[in-house]
A and B are shown apart, each in its own frame.
Chain A
Amino acid sequence: MATTTSAPLLTLAGIRKEFPGVVALAGVNFELLPGEVHALVGENGAGKSTMIKIISGLYRPDAGEMAVGGEVAEFRSPADSIARRIKVVYQELDLVPDMSVAENVFLGGYPKTPRGLVDWAALNSRTESLLAELGLDIDPGTPVGELRVAEQQLVEIARALSQQAQIVIMDEPTSALSPGEVDRLFAVIEQLQQRGVGIIYVSHKLDEIFRIADRVTVFRDGQLVTTTPIAETSIQQLVTWMVGRELSDLYPKSPAVIGEPLLRVSNVSGPGIYDLSLTVHAGEVVGIFGLMGAGINSVGRVIFGASPRTAGQVTLAGQEVGAGSPGDAMEKGLALLTENRKEDGLVLPLSVKNNMTLASLRKFATFGWLWPRQEIKESADYVNRLSIKTPSLRQQVRFLSGGNQQKVLMARWMMRDPKVLLLTEPTRGIDVGSKAEIYRLIDEMAHRGLGILFMSTEIPEILGIADRILVMREGRIVAAFGRNEATQERLVAAAASDLNDAIVEAG
């Protein structure tokens, strides 16, 4: 645990950073002590990543000073920051997929032979021992692109070890990890801590913060709200600081009015899923819980036709939905919010409005001719209804924060008036305030009679909003619980238990 008496490893004083039109950081003071895990929390766009990028030398502050180990530090590039033994594990992992694990671990500073050439033998053997230290059994020659996200994350941490980093910064490291992997990561963090490494830990998962952090700093709108020892605060308190008001109910669940069955999935198989059967009724929120890699992402894709369906039948309100055709699925009244916002959701160079209306262009057109008035009106309507923070409808969606981007995607599908909405991890990487917003939207839609299939790897939200919970493991539904029977323990047990256990009839 942190020894509060020792001199700080890192000090920021009055750090300010502006982007055109945005004050990302408005004069922030921050301190990191040796051996401490210092959590950083705040809403999307609060400025957490910006601060990290300043510490790493990617951005230069407009004002303010930074000191590392008591010495003033002015970083002109990441190389300067690395030279001061600072290592950042970014939100979006930064590895070269085609290069080997060993090369990635030592990227930017290879071991060299006396003649200055790359020393491949040393590279591999040193990587191997670093990986062993982290309990990771992989061949240093494996291309990183072949590793699981969790393994990639550990490769990043191996990099920190290789650089003998004194300060390690992790930006939302657990957003793609399974509980087991999270435990593993935390063990590594503790190891680092014991060596006196200072760790800045950014996360939207507040429960994690209470597990590992010593102190927590809260950001709001580029301002530092407070820094406090974790022991002296509570989740409720943190949330209040973050969103600037009391968030009384994260999961606004109104009593479900279950109607007709809408979506019927019978014995469907496809890449990653086997023999899937389930039913979603009007007004019902059906949750599917599974650990990472259990196949929950494939569910939405296969039902929607974005991935091939090799067997089985999908009907919506009695009409058969063709396999492998998103167009047909949309036609019949399905909508799919995919797992990866940036990869297959947002069209980054397009405006907020054009992103929103992308799936319902026909609605605003006669014979392909668009009527912009109506389009603008309806988009503006959604911006206001979903409280999307954007300076204008014309703003490129890439400049929005994650939560707001997610809401734009929600609007895209709501605009179509679908009968059933398939949501895949809609709150990944999203701050608690926005999460509450999204839960509220889901609840509202269900209330209006939509059927919702909600896939998530996070138990609390599944428990919070689903009327019925299915558990998935290795591509199969292995358990089903009513809202009242489900508990965290039962879900985990079902998700992790052996295949031989009783398979509860699903749907």
Chain B
Amino acid sequence: MSSVFASPQENGWQKWKAVWARNEALSLLVLLAGVIALFMVIEPTMRKSSVYWDLLRQVSPTMVAAVGITLLLLSGEFDLTVGSMLALTGIVIVDTFNRTDNMWLGILAGLLTGLVIGAINGTFVTVIGMESLMTTLGMMFAIRGLVYVYTNQTPIVDQNRFTQFTRLWFKNFGPVPSPIIVALVLVALAYFLATRTEFGRNTYAIGGNANAARVSGINVRRVKFTLFVISGLMASVAGLLYTAQTDTGYFNAGLGFELEVLAAVVLGGASLAGGQGNVTSTALAVLIIGTIGKGMRLMSIDTTQQLLVIGIVMLIAVYYHRIRKQTAARLTQEAYAARQAARGNVLA
């Protein structure tokens, strides 16, 4: 059976072009390698391997949260609460530590927070039918505000100083930092969920054409609800990692985190309209943004100029994605035309 990807007119060059155009992860991988190579040339510290282990540790909360958001975005919905969730989870975890003197209860409570907030977001959007962008914007302020009110803007310090807890952040297995292990396991699970399970395929279908999904008997509301819960849960895992680093419930944790996550998702090529994107690309994009930030910090470039650079890189990357997607669409069209020509009208 002939695949469209290998229609007769495609020569070797065309084939490579198709591989390039259709595979966003590939581009991102090349970009990542390029960024690393560039920094290695201009900044000697970037040649040390320890820098990269640090990097992996540092990007892990963002990676976890961004992957959660990607899954949700595939279904065409948004969640702006991730930043506030980082703060809320931290507060809940450390507060529970202090109230129960039990580390496991604290961690459990933290994860439960993600579950509950995700379920609340999900209920607003899928049961009541509220628009997700506005709803989660409201939730973002509401959660942050409640955190302020509850803590009176004082950090909550872990009185037990659970070292086992902070090891979740600081411990290394060989050279591999533990948080990145958590993050990669979750990325793998998310990848598996998105590509191998019916639930994942249904998610893509909903984002691709919600109506088609609904009339095919997919319970769109349930899928979306579950995705909100997953995204909430992932945000609370991010919060857990973040908190393990500080052992403190910090009310201002994750201010602006939602935009950071969004930038990564967009750089990873996911469509804000849903249906397009994948978790590996998002994870790569997180690494790219992390590397650029790291390199610039090591070069002691001003934060102010870092903002400029990140902005410009994002613009270029998105423009690049557009060109790539356009090429992919054109190749598809050409392949289709060739197929039609080769076969004649099937139905006539």
Contacts and interface: CB of A to CB of B under 8 A. Distances in A.
A107 interface: yes
Interface string B184-201: 000000000000111001
Contacts of A151: 346-347
Interface string A214-231: 000000000000000000
Nearest to B202: A108
B209 A94 contact: yes
Given A78-B215, A118-B201, A99 B343 contact: no
Given A118-B197, A146-B4, A181-B347, A77 B208 contact: no
B308 interface: no
Given A56-B215, A103-B201, A136 B346 contact: yes
A274 interface: no
A137 B204 CA distance: 26
A88 B218 CA distance: 14
Contact of A99 (B208, B345, B347): B208
Contacts of B336: 146
A138 interface: yes
> Which one of B219, B333, B348 has the highest number of Cβ atoms from chain A below 10 Å of its Cβ?
B348
A79 B332 contact: no
Interface in B198-244: 198, 201-202, 204-205, 208-209, 211-219
A128 B213 CA distance: 22
Interface in B110-136: none
B254 interface: no
Nearest to B218: A108
Interface string A398-418: 000000000000000000000
Given A94-B211, A96-B205, A117 B197 contact: yes
Given A96-B205, A107-B216, A180 B346 contact: no
A460 B276 CA distance: 43
B1 interface: yes
A88 B215 contact: yes
A215 B239 CA distance: 64
A109 interface: yes
Contacts of B216: 78, 82, 94, 107-109, 159
Contacts of A118: 196-198, 201
Given A79-B218, A108-B217, A178 B348 contact: yes
Interface string B329-348: 00011001000000101111
The 8 A-B residue pairs whose C-beta atoms are closest, nearest first, are: A108-B216, A96-B208, A94-B212, A79-B217, A82-B217, A107-B216, A108-B217, A180-B348
A168 to B, nearest CB: 13
Interface in A77-110: 77-79, 81-83, 88, 90, 92, 94-99, 103-104, 107-110
Given A82-B217, A178-B348, A137 B197 contact: no
A128 B211 CA distance: 25
Contacts of B219: 77, 79
Interface in B271-293: 275-276
A146 B332 contact: yes
B348 A181 contact: yes
A153 to B, nearest CB: 10
A142 B333 CA distance: 12
A103 B205 CA distance: 9
A194 B218 CA distance: 29
A271 to B, nearest CB: 12
A96 B209 contact: yes
B300 interface: no
Nearest to B195: A118
A462 interface: no
A143 B276 CA distance: 13
Contacts of B348: 178, 180-181
A112 B333 CA distance: 32
Nearest to A80: B217
Interface string A123-147: 0000010000000111101110010
B211 A137 contact: no
Given A97-B208, A159-B216, 11 more contacts: A56-B215, A79-B217, A94-B212, A98-B276, A107-B216, A108-B217, A117-B196, A146-B4, A146-B333, A146-B336, A154-B347
Nearest to B221: A77
B197 A98 contact: no
B49 interface: no
A108 B208 contact: no
A483 interface: no
Contacts of A94: 209, 211-212, 215-216
A58 interface: yes
Contacts of B211: 92, 94
A81 to B, nearest CB: 8
A488 to B, nearest CB: 18
Contact of B213 (A96, A117, A154): A96
B3 A141 contact: yes
B152 interface: no
B2 interface: yes
> Which one of B2, B211, B216 has the highest number of Cβ atoms from chain A below 10 Å of its Cβ?
B216
A471 to B, nearest CB: 17
A205 interface: no
10 contacts: A56-B215, A58-B214, A77-B217, A78-B214, A94-B216, A97-B209, A99-B201, A99-B204, A107-B218, A137-B346
A184 interface: yes
Contacts of A146: 4, 332-333, 336
A142 B340 CA distance: 13
Contacts of A148: 347
Given A112-B198, A118-B198, A181-B348, A98 B208 contact: yes
Contacts of A56: 215
Given A107-B212, A136-B346, A146-B4, A96 B204 contact: yes
Contacts of B2: 139
Nearest to B205: A96
Contacts of B217: 77-79, 81-83, 108-109
A46 B257 CA distance: 52
Contacts of B347: 148, 150-151, 154, 178, 180-181, 184
A244 to B, nearest CB: 32
A136 B201 CA distance: 24
B346 to A, nearest CB: 6
Nearest to A109: B217
B202 A143 contact: no
A109 B199 CA distance: 10
B332 A143 contact: yes
Given A96-B205, A98-B208, A137-B343, A58 B215 contact: yes
A307 to B, nearest CB: 15
Contacts of A96: 204-205, 208-209, 212-213, 275
Contacts of B4: 139, 141-143, 146
Contacts of A107: 205, 212-213, 216, 218
Contacts of A95: 209, 212
Nearest to B275: A98
Contacts of B204: 96, 98-99
Contacts of B3: 139, 141
A92 B211 CA distance: 10
A117 B193 CA distance: 9
Nearest to A107: B216
